[in-house]
Homo-oligomer: A and B are copies of this chain.
Amino acid sequence: MNVLFAGLGSMGLGMAQSLLRADHTVQGVDPNSTRVDMLCADGGVDDLEQADALVSAVLNADQTRAVLFGPDGLADHLRPGGVILSCATVAPAFAREMEAEAQARGLHYLDAPISGGAAKAAEGRLSIMAAGSADAFEASEPLLDAMAETVHRLGDSAGAGSAMKAVNQLLAGVHIAAMGEAMAFAASQGLDPARVVDVISVSAGTSWMFENRAPHVVDADYAPRSKVDIWPKDLGIVTDVASDAALPLPVTQTALSQFRATSQAGMGDEDDAAIAKYVARRGGVKLPGDD
């Protein structure tokens, strides 16, 4: 298929490369020309006249709207009956709005938020939480096959994919915030952080995020695999959607406040495990890497 790919960030570039490996023709679009050049070096093109599909892996709802339907929006370069796969984490209502806009232009739309991190994106092994019409799924299938190991098919119109992604981010975000409190608390009690990871990983207190992020605290390694600043955005979507539904989520709200505070303390571009440092410092507790 001829594919326009918008957003060549840490996730998007790997996804676009996965499409190239599956012999699709891909033209990348990104404000950073270095990223476009990287895709061209792997076989990306720069002269696509008309595309069968548009994959959008930009950061948020505003960028999604602009890149699809704004002035110079890429939807204008899709053939009639082409498909849009939108992968940003957005509110379900926004996904429904984009689907309606696409359908009004005679295009298919797949609500397709992604999960799995940059390494799995590069390997074509993402999880995609997808919802859309049967036509949207059929038109997307060769692309989903190239980019994803698992496609959760969640409904026949947009919204359910974004809703499930929001549920996942609620849990993942709270679990990272809990990891931060647990590691700081453990250190305050004189426990060896490495031993805490060993014991908790085989106990009822474990989580996917604990097992993935707590070792970063043990190693004092805050090079960003996933940044603190993802969470004010993603948990903000969760609490906004919950607020629209008049549903109080106090634990999620508190985790959001903690990520915002960690970012405001200057750690927004660090790995999200840095929330442990924010918790520890407020209590004068030393973690690995502290003097």
Contacts and interface: CB of A to CB of B under 8 A. Distances in A.
Interface of A: 92, 115-117, 127, 129, 150, 152, 154, 159-160, 163-164, 166-172, 174-175, 177-179, 181-182, 184-186, 188-191, 195-196, 199-200, 202-210, 212, 238, 241-242, 245-255, 257-258, 279-280, 282-285
A167 B250 contact: no
Contacts of A160: 189-191
A259 to B, nearest CB: 10
A195 B168 CA distance: 12
> Chain A at the B interface: mostly helix, strand, loop or mixed?
helix
Identical copies of this chain, number: 2
Contacts of A179: 171
A4 B180 CA distance: 40
Given A163-B186, A246-B284, A249-B279, 5 more contacts: A154-B195, A164-B199, A185-B249, A246-B283, A250-B254
A247 B283 contact: yes
Contact of A191 (B164, B189, B196): B164
A192 to B, nearest CB: 9
Nearest to A282: B248
- Which 10 residue pairs across A and B have the least CB separation, nearest first? A247-B283, A171-B205, A207-B207, A163-B189, A168-B205, A174-B178, A254-B254, A188-B245, A172-B205, A181-B249
A167 B205 contact: yes
Contact of A127 (B175, B203, B247): B203
A178 B247 contact: no
A285 B245 CA distance: 9
Contacts of A169: 205
20 contacts: A127-B202, A154-B195, A159-B190, A160-B190, A164-B195, A164-B196, A167-B196, A168-B205, A172-B205, A174-B174, A177-B251, A185-B245, A185-B247, A204-B212, A205-B208, A206-B208, A207-B207, A246-B284, A249-B279, A253-B254
Nearest to A168: B205
Nearest to A117: B204
Contacts of A212: 204
A81 to B, nearest CB: 28
A207 B167 contact: no
B154 A184 contact: no
Contacts of A285: 245, 247
A254 B279 CA distance: 15
A279 B238 CA distance: 15
Contacts of A253: 254
